Structures are given as structure tokens and as C-alpha cells.
């Protein structure tokens, strides 16, 4: 039986991939060994020599072990979903955003500073959104409504070494996620308790994908060679759309089980 290593992610992959030995490990607790071209991954539960890897590293702190592991997977030539090359483009928010921008898609306007003291040179109308560094899952993101809060937040931002992006707050009527796996596309809108639709999400609604956005998503998917990719889009009342990010390790919650099987099939095809 071939062995699939699931790095982080959901607990259900064993059930979706019954024809394989599925071993799951957290990147935070692993050590990686490349020996004579063969890859071994160890943690306190033991060592595994994977035949394929399902990379499901979600909203944790981005650390060097993640990019090192991706390089070792590439060097070992093991099938990995997404590919290490694709995952490395998406690893940092700025290179992810640059990729969307280069393709001419309607990415949200944003300013960037690498030192918080330069924020005083950034003039944006309230409300706006500040995003610190390279985090997912809503982490490091704050809505700034007025001068008083902005002053406090700038003081807080002084302590970070990460780059800071500032973008207009989009008073959206729908927060939309399109997700592509292989050649299939699904669409969903989400509602959150507060302004971040992905945090304390109260509502998921799947709907029929629209052709123009499917084409945009497929162009992006092809450009970065992704097996799986999602884009997050904010829709204004007047119909204007703003892409806030793409995610090459998107969560699948809220969608049907079909997506899990589709993703598993991408991996098993690479193994056969």
C-alpha cells in the first residue's frame, strides 16, 4: 500500500483515501530528511517515507520550515498537491497579490510599507483595512474606522517587523469564494458575525458560478499551475468586484463533500 502524508489539515482524509496508508503530521512538529534523493519526514510518532503529499497547511504562522519542506519535496520529486512550485508562489501574500495583478485581474488597491513609521505618509479615507504580514484565517487584520483608533493602531504596529498593507474597506453586499479543483469550479458566499466573513462564519450559500469569474479563476489556475485554488471576492452594491486574495490551500468547509473526493482524485491520479 502506498503512503500519503497529509501535512496539517482536516482529520477526514483517511476516510476519503481508504486505498492508501494515510499518515498525518503537523509541519510545526516535523523534521525533514533528504537522503540519497529519498524523502523522510519525522515527528515524535515516528518516521514516514511518503509516496505522495497532500499539503493542507492552513492558518498557522508562516515559518521557514514550510518553504524548506517544499524545496525538499521538489528535490525528492514526490507528487504533492498543490505542487511545491505553486505553493511557493502563494506562500507570501505580496507575491500572491503580484501574481493576480500581473494577470490584469481586479485585485483590490492597496498601499504597502515595510516600516510602520511610514504609515503617516499614507493617506486613506476612513474606514480602511490594515493587514500585517503574511497570515491567513483573519489573523493580523484590523478594520480602522476613525482617527482615534488609527493613532492607537499605528502605535501597536510599531512593534511589528512585518510589512503592512493598507486598503480601502469595501462595504460589500456579498463575500464570495470561488474554488477550482482540477477542471471543476464551485462558488459560495459567506457571512461572518463581524466584518471578516471567514471568522465566526454564520452562513454559507453555494450558488451557480458565473462565467466571467470562472474564466478569471481558470486563467489564474493555469498561470500558477494549481490543482486547487480559491479566490476571495468582495461584491459592492453597484456590482463592482474586488479580489482580496487567492488561496492555494483553501478550506473546504461550507462546500459539499464532492470537493474532498475531487482533490483526493488529483493526488491518486498522480500516484498511479
Residues that bind ligand ADP (CB under 6 A): 108, 129, 136-138, 141, 167, 169-170, 172, 175, 195-198, 232, 234, 244-245
Q: With CA atoms as reference, report the closest residue to 189 among 223, 213, 219.
A: 213
Smallest distance, ligand ADP to C-beta of residue 265, A: 26
Q: C-alpha grid cell for residue 247?
A: 488561496
Residue 130 interaction partner, one of Mg ion, ligand ADP, none, beta carbon < 5-8 Å per kind? none
User: What is the C-alpha to C-alpha distance for residues 36 and 55, in angstroms, rounded to an integer?
Assistant: 23
Q: Which is nearer to ligand ADP, 23 or 96 (CB)?
A: 96
| Interatomic CA distance for residues 249 and 169, integer angstroms | 25
Give the shortest CB-221-to-ligand ADP separation in angstroms: 18
Q: β-pairing, 3-7 with 52-55?
A: parallel
Q: What DSSP character marks residue 107? A: B
Minimum gap (Å) between residue 247 Cβ and ligand ADP: 7
Q: How far is the CB of 168 from ligand ADP (least distance, A)?
A: 6
Strands 128-132 and 111-113 turn out to be unpaired
Binding partner of 129, given ligand ADP, Mg ion, none, CB within 5-8 angstroms per partner class: ligand ADP
Query: Shortest gap between Cβ of 198 and Mg ion (angstroms)?
Result: 5
Q: Output 20 or 172, the one with its CB closest to ligand ADP.
A: 172
Closer to Mg ion by Cβ: residue 29 or 191: 191
Distance between CA atoms of residues 206 and 19, nearest Å:
30
Toward Mg ion, which CB reaches closer, 227 or 232? 232
CB neighbourhood size of 252 (10 A): 21
Round to whole Å and give the CA distance between 3 and 26: 16
Phi, psi of 226 (to 5 degrees): -90, 135
Nearer to ligand ADP (CB atom), residue 14 or residue 149: 149
Site track for Mg ion across 208-237, x = CB under 5 A: ------------------------x-----
Say if strands 111-113 and 241-247 run parallel, antiparallel, or are unpaired. unpaired
Binding interface with Mg ion (CB under 5 A): 232
Amino acid at each position: 500500500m502506498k503512503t500519503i502524508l497529509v501535512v496539517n489539515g482536516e482529520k477526514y482524509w483517511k476516510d476519503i483515501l481508504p486505498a492508501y496508508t494515510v499518515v498525518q503530521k503537523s509541519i510545526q512538529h516535523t523534521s525533514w530528511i533528504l537522503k540519497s534523493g529519498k524523502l523522510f519526514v519525522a515527528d515524535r510518532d515516528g518516521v514516514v517515507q511518503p509516496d505522495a503529499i497532500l499539503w493542507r497547511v492552513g492558518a498557522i504562522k508562516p515559518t521557514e520550515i514550510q518553504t524548506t519542506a517544499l524545496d525538499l519535496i521538489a528535490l525528492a520529486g514526490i507528487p504533492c498537491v498543490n505542487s511545491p512550485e505553486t505553493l511557493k508562489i502563494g506562500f507570501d501574500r505580496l507575491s500572491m497579490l503580484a501574481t493576480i495583478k500581473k494577470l490584469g485581474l481586479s485585485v483590490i488597491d492597496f498601499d504597502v510599507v515595510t516600516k510602520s513609521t511610514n504609515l503617516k505618509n499614507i493617506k486613506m479615507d476612513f474606514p480602511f483595512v490594515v493587514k500585517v504580514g503574511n497570515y491567513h484565517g483573519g489573523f493580523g487584520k484590523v478594520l480602522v474606522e476613525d482617527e482615534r483608533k488609527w493613532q492607537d493602531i499605528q502605535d501597536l504596529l510599531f512593534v511589528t517587523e512585518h510589512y503592512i498593507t493598507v486598503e480601502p474597506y469595501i462595504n460589500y453586499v456579498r463575500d464570495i469564494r470561488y474554488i477550482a479543483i482540477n477542471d471543476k469550479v464551485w462558488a459560495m458566499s459567506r457571512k461572518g458575525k463581524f466584518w471578516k466573513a471567514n471568522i465566526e462564519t454564520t452562513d454559507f450559500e453555494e450558488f451557480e458560478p458565473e462565467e466571467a469569474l470562472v474564466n478569471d479563476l481558470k486563467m489564474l489556475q493555469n498561470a500558477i499551475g494549481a490543482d486547487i485554488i480559491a479566490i476571495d471576492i468582495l461584491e459592492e452594491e453597484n456590482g463592482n468586484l474586488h479580489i482580496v486574495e487567492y488561496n492555494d490551500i483553501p478550506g473546504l468547509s461550507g462546500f459539499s463533500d464532492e470537493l474532498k473526493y475531487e482533490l483526493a482524485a488529483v493526488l491518486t491520479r498522480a500516484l498511479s
